[in-house]
Structure formats: structure tokens, C-alpha cells
Amino acid sequence: MLTAPIDQLVDALPAQGMTVQALKALDYIAPGQWVNINRFDNMIRVVTGNGDDAFVKAVRQRALAMYADESQGYQRAVWIYQMVDSTDSKLGMAALANKAGELLSILSFLSSITPKADTTQSIDLAMKIIAEVMAFKYLNTTAPGDGVMDFASGLLEYQKENLIRVAAMLTFDGLVPLGPDFARKLMYTAQGMRLSDLESNATYQRLRSVIPGGVSPLQFVSGGVSALSNHMGGFTNRYGLSMARVVPQLRGIIEFADDKLDYVAGFIDMSTNYMEHTGIQSVARVLIARAAQQT
């Protein structure tokens, strides 16, 4: 099995900590859309609207059987989300967990953070977008093709965990470190990307095995990100992702000076695993809904 059973993964999700705090800071984009469900049986009740114990048990058994079938895409999608976050260095996670709910001063962590150059940050964002595309493909379609346009269409329907994850990706890996014109920088980087840029990227090294055949990895990443840049910009506009709105929210959990936003981005990158956290929840939600239909 590529991952632990899905019920164990959901039950192991934290109720608090920097990842949860960072995601809650984005609640303003769609209030109440994301709820941090971290018990598998509770998710069954929420997704199905049925709290009968016998029904919950039956759905659980069916969902676990479906997830264990490696010929389906559930495990692969979770693995992708896990691999994206595993490439980031976690900064004092135990200490941060103990400080949940307190304001943290970014100044005390500056010596551990080196802001990334814009090109490096843009490639990191590009690879997270590609990871989201591939997880979407494994989870939602078996149709031929690279899944890019299927994802572009699906993005319009994103809700709950999916919605908050893309918002976090574009905010924490795009807007905060790269500025309001991050979509333009992303497009520029994608169009000028070289194979050596990919090969030096840790996320690419982890995910290269799931990049579809038929085209070169460079063509897939560069072409896919270029094709999706306008969609990312549209998402940003639709949900009002802006410095004016997000900075006050971040100040609720982190103390920082106005000229230290690149350090804030590095801090969030190293101290959260929002892709894995919400990715597990997303896969569990889809899995439970499908298991309930078969129960």
C-alpha cells in the first residue's frame, strides 16, 4: 500500500497547530466552507447526512475496501499531496504545536529562513499546481490525456477542502512571496522554464514518476502551467485574494514587519503541511460519497 489506510490518515490530522491556523486565516474567502474534520466516522456523518451507526459502519467498510484497491486512484492522490509537503523542511513543529493559539513572532525564526528568489518560488508554485492537477486526475477521471483541461473545468466547482487548498497555494506560495502580479511571474517563469530548472526542484524529483507519458516532463509542466495561469488569476479575482485582505489575517497568528513578507512565506512553507492536510480530507470526502452510493 502506498499510504496508511484512509481512516487512520484522517484520524491523525491535528485539531490545531500552524497548518490549521494558516488555513483558518483564509476563511474570509468563503466563510464556513472549510471545517477541520479530523475523525473519519464524523466525516461519514457529515458527507452522508446519516448518523445511524450501522450505516456509518457499512460505509466505513466499503470506503476502506475501495481505498485499499491500488488500481483505483485514491491512494495515488493522497501520496501526491504527501510528497508535495514532504519536500518542505518543517520548522520546529513540536514547538509550534505547543504555541497554537498564541501570536508567534517571525523575528525569532529569521535565522532559520532564507527567502527564495522569485524564479525558484515560481517553480515551486508551478510544481504545486501540477501536483494538484495530477491528484485531480487520479481522483476524478480515467479519461486519456494529461488532465490539465479537466482540472481547469473542475476548478470552477471546487468547494470545501479543495477550495481552501487552492486558496492557500495561491496565497502562501504565490501572492505573499511574489506579490500581487504573481500570476504574471508564474506565466513568465513557465514559458522560460528549462529542464535543469525542473531537475533541481525537490518537488519535481518526488513527483516525476506520476507525470504522464507521451510528452516530455518539461513540456507537460511548462505547457500545463502556462495553460492554467489565467485560471489561477481568475480564481484569485473571484475569491478576492489580495494583500489588503490576507495580511491582516496573517497578523492574527504571526507578528511581522511589512518588509518581511518573503520571510512570512518561508515560515509558512516550512511550518505547515496544508496540501497534505486538506488533500487527505478531500480524498476522504470523495471516497465516502462514492462508498455511500454503493452501500
What is the distance between the alpha carbons of residues 2 and 217, in angstroms, rounded to a whole number?
23
How many Cβ atoms are within 10 Å of 157's Cβ, its own excluded?
8
Helix (H, G, I), strand (E, B) or coil at 159: coil
**Which tens digits make up the pLDDT trace of 117-130?**
788 888 899 999 99
Output phi, psi for 255, to 5 deg.
Answer: -95, 125
pTM for this model (two decimals): 0.90
Give the per-residue pLDDT at 171: 94
Q: What angle do CA 83, 154, 11 make, to 5 degrees?
A: 45
Number of structural domains in the chain: 1
Q: Is residue 49 part of a domain?
A: yes
- Nearest alpha-carbon partner for 291 in 2, 34, 142, 68: 68
**Which tens digits make up the pLDDT trace of 82-106?**
998 876 555 444 434 444 445 556 5
Region label for 147, one of left (φ > 0), alpha (ψ between -120 and 50) or beta (otherwise): left
How many Cβ atoms are within 10 Å of 283's Cβ, its own excluded?
27
Output phi, psi for 134, to 5 deg.
Answer: -70, -40
E-assigned strand segments in the chain: 104-105, 254-255
Q: State which of 73-77, 113-117, 155-159 shows the largest mean pLDDT.
A: 73-77
51 in Cβ contact with 45 (< 8 Å): yes
**Which tens digits make up the pLDDT trace of 27-67?**
998 899 999 999 999 999 999 999 899 999 999 999 999 99
Whole-number Cα distances in Å, 243 to 27, 118, 172, 174, 258? 15, 17, 11, 11, 11
Q: Is residue 154 part of a domain?
A: yes
Give the per-residue pLDDT at 94: 41
Q: What is the domain extent for residue 128?
A: 6-293
Mean pLDDT of 143-147: 59
Q: Is residue 105 part of a domain?
A: yes
Cβ-in-10-Å burial (0-12, 13-18, 19+) of 259 comes to exposed
All three cell numbers of 129, joined, read 499546481
Q: Is residue 121 part of a domain?
A: yes
Q: Is residue 1 part of a domain?
A: no
**Which tens digits make up the pLDDT trace of 188-217?**
888 888 889 888 888 888 888 888 766 788
Terminal-to-terminal C-alpha distance of the chain: 24
Q: Is residue 196 part of a domain?
A: yes
- Nearest alpha-carbon partner for 113 in 272, 271, 267, 268: 267
All three cell numbers of 231, joined, read 485560471
